[in-house]
């Protein structure tokens, strides 16, 4: 695919890096020379200095032959204008990064696609949504919903008490035949090795295991893993950033008790005016005495979303020392993902990764309607719609020539989630959730074309 990315900031560079690994034809546009020099020397891509809303710059980037144009500059106006121009100049698909989430809320009314903008993404909105999901599934350290919860992916670290520790997947299935979940990926404790589980794969203590489950399967997973479903009501948010504000706003509408600690006095007053149902405290969240004064120990969840990753991590460790049920830290450095479980923080989230996941489904072949990359795992989970021409249409799962480094986790049919086992017959219109390692992605894609 020929892909043009405007904006060599964190999201743009991260996207360009991921896509260049897949041998895509990438052109990265930015007005800042220093950002482009770094990208040019580190990635196998073409860089172009200039204004992404300049018609001559877009023509130089060969926009008329592009399959996808992505606007992820820091300027919302630039991104929207770029997409509008690119579509007029012949690009097949456009995606704009925005910060004003009113656009997303009203996209059906405004009909952006008629203006030439196919998709709107807000990394801050994606992060706020991710935080809400994690609070809803409080015992799990990673979660993702397909088709509004018809199927749910959850990730957790297996405790010694889990009854299937030491058992093979096929043996666990015999012991618990009525269960509504399936393991789709395992990472062994202390390794970076991702395993797609087969029948003879053995669960071990400390494994980070990802399951696909239906709604009823979530409670079963709580029981079987010995994890306690903790009700979360009182939430403290460190940082009145865009993510912090959006998270607080959404949680207030769902009747959570929300406290926000914001260092800037001016910003604290603004947030207090906009969110009358939240308690806003002006102070430095790195001050442990302040956290104690504001009853940190009585909180059910602590969410650190300042602009400083180290501050977020350290404050979450302070919260964990007070036995807070759920800690979530926003981090910019991808390397920190490998540390999260070993240092004791429940979940790290990253805006770049969330935005990249959201955009990546447009690069995949076949009709991909959802995609998520597992935190710190070398695996992708994709949701395909089965077309009449798809090789899987009308086939029983065990008869498919499916790569061993991929697995079908579940199927959504007519809005209902099903954990699809070997005898399940796939039909046109099914939404099939697949977990696969990078080496099997192209083969899996062909099955759904």
Say what percent of the chain tops pLDDT 90.
Answer: 38
Q: In angstroms, how far is CA 220 from the centroid of its own chain?
A: 24
The more confidently predicted of residues 247 and 333 is 247
pLDDT in tens, 58-103: 999 999 999 999 999 989 999 999 999 999 999 999 999 998 878 8
d(CA 345, CA 57): 45
Return the DSSP state at 420.
-
d(CA 63, CA 237): 42
Q: What is the mean pLDDT of residues 267-284?
A: 93
pLDDT at 31: 93
pLDDT in tens, 102-111: 888 888 788 8
d(CA 114, CA 110): 9
pLDDT at 337: 66
Confidence of residue 376 (pLDDT cuts 50, 70, 90): low
* Cβ atoms within 10 Å, residue 148: 8
pLDDT at 184 over 80: yes
The more confidently predicted of residues 126 and 173 is 126
pLDDT at 287 over 60: yes
8 Å CB contact between 44 and 20? yes
Range with lowest mean pLDDT among 219-228, 402-411, 414-423, 435-444: 219-228
pLDDT at 109: 85
Strand blocks (E) in 289-430 = 301-304, 326-330, 347-349, 368-373, 380-385, 406-413, 416-418
d(CA 284, CA 153): 36
Range with lowest mean pLDDT among 172-186, 322-336, 411-425: 172-186
Most confident of 16-30, 43-57, 312-326, 359-373: 43-57
8 Å CB contact between 373 and 353? yes
Concatenate the DSSP letters of all residues of 76-144 into one string: HHHHHHHHHHHHHTT-S-EEEE-S-THHHHTHHHHTHHHHT--EEE-HHHHHHHHHHHHHHTTT-SEEE
8 Å CB contact between 70 and 95? yes
The more confidently predicted of residues 374 and 168 is 168
pLDDT at 341 over 60: no
Most confident of 11-25, 56-70, 398-412: 56-70
Please list, in sequence order, all residues whose beta carbon lies within 8 angstroms of the beta carbon of residue 380, skipping any fewer than 6 positions away.
360, 371, 372, 373, 374, 435, 436, 438, 441
Burial 63-98 (b: 16+ CB within 10 A, else e): beebebbbbbbebbebbbbbbbbbbebebebbbbbb
Range with lowest mean pLDDT among 257-261, 282-286, 376-380, 442-446: 376-380
Rg (the chain; Cα; Å) = 23
How does the average pLDDT of the chain come out, rounded? 87
Say what percent of the chain tops pLDDT 70.
Answer: 94
pLDDT at 257: 93
Concatenate the DSSP letters of all residues of 148-214 into one string: TTTEEEEEEEPPTT-TTTTSBHHHHHHHSTT--EEEEEEE-TT---EE---TTPBP-TT-EEEEEE-
8 Å CB contact between 284 and 314? no
pLDDT at 326 over 60: yes
* Cβ atoms within 10 Å, residue 103: 17
pLDDT at 68: 94
d(CA 411, CA 59): 43
pLDDT at 223 over 80: no
d(CA 81, CA 410): 39
Query: Which of 136, 98, 100 lies closest to 251 in space, CA to CA?
Result: 136
CB-facing half-sphere around the CA of 250: CA atoms within 13 A: 20
Q: For residue 409, give Cα distances in angstroms to 203, 223, 224.
A: 17, 21, 19
pLDDT at 52: 94
pLDDT at 351: 85
pLDDT at 279: 94
Burial 251-265 (b: 16+ CB within 10 A, else e): bbeeebbbbbbbbee
Q: What is the mean pLDDT of residues 407-433?
A: 90
pLDDT at 339: 63
pLDDT at 370: 75
Most confident of 19-28, 56-65, 225-234, 340-349: 56-65
Residue with tokens 């805006």: 351
pLDDT at 138 over 70: no
pLDDT in tens, 423-434: 899 999 999 999
Q: What is the mean pLDDT of residues 432-448?
A: 89
pLDDT at 120: 92
pLDDT at 206: 84
């Amino acid at each position: 695919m020929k892909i043009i990315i405007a904006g060599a900031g964190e999201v743009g560079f991260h996207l360009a890096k991921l896509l260049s690994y897949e041998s895509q034809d990438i052109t990265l546009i930015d007005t800042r020379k220093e950002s482009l020099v770094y990208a040019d020397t580190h990635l196998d891509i073409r860089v172009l200095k200039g204004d992404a809303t300049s018609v001559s710059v877009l023509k130089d980037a060969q926009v008329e032959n592009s399959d996808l144009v992505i606007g992820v500059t820091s300027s919302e106006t630039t991104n929207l204008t770029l997409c509008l121009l690119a579509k007029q100049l012949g690009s097949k698909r456009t995606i704009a990064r925005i910060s004003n989430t009113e656009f997303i809320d009203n996209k059906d009314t405004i009909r952006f696609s008629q203006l030439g903008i196919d998709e709107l993404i807000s990394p801050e909105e994606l992060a706020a949504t991710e935080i809400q999901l994690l609070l809803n599934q409080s015992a799990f350290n990673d979660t993702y919903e397909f088709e509004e919860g018809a199927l749910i992916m959850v990730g957790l670290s297996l405790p010694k008490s889990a009854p299937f520790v030491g058992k093979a997947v096929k043996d666990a299935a015999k012991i618990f035949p009525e269960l509504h979940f399936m393991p789709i990926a395992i990472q062994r404790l202390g390794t970076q090795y991702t395993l797609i589980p087969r029948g003879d794969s053995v669960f071990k203590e400390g494994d980070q295991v990802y399951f696909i489950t239906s709604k009823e399967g979530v409670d079963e997973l709580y029981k079987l893993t010995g994890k306690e479903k903790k009700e979360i009501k009182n939430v403290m948010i460190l940082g009145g950033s865009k993510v912090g504000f959006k998270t607080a706003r959404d949680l207030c509408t769902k009747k959570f008790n929300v406290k926000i600690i914001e260092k800037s006095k001016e910003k604290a007053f603004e947030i207090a005016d906009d969110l009358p149902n939240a308690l806003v405290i002006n102070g430095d969240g790195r001050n442990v005495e302040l956290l104690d004064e504001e009853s940190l120990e009585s909180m059910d969840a602590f969410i650190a979303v300042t602009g400083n990753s180290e501050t977020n991590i350290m404050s979450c460790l302070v919260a964990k020392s007070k036995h807070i049920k759920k800690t979530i830290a926003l981090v910019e450095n991808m390397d920190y993902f490998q540390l999260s479980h070993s240092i004791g923080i429940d979940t790290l989230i990253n805006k770049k990764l969330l935005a990249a996941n959201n955009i990546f489904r447009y690069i995949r072949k076949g009709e991909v309607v959802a995609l998520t990359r597992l935190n710190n795992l070398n695996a992708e989970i994709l949701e395909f719609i089965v077309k009449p021409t798809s090789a899987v249409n009308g086939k029983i799962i065990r008869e498919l020539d499916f790569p061993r480094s991929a697995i079908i986790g579940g199927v959504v049919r007519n809005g209902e989630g099903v954990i699809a086992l070997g005898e399940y017959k796939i039909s046109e219109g099914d939404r099939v959730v697949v977990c696969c390692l990078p080496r099997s992605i192209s083969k899996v894609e062909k099955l759904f074309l």
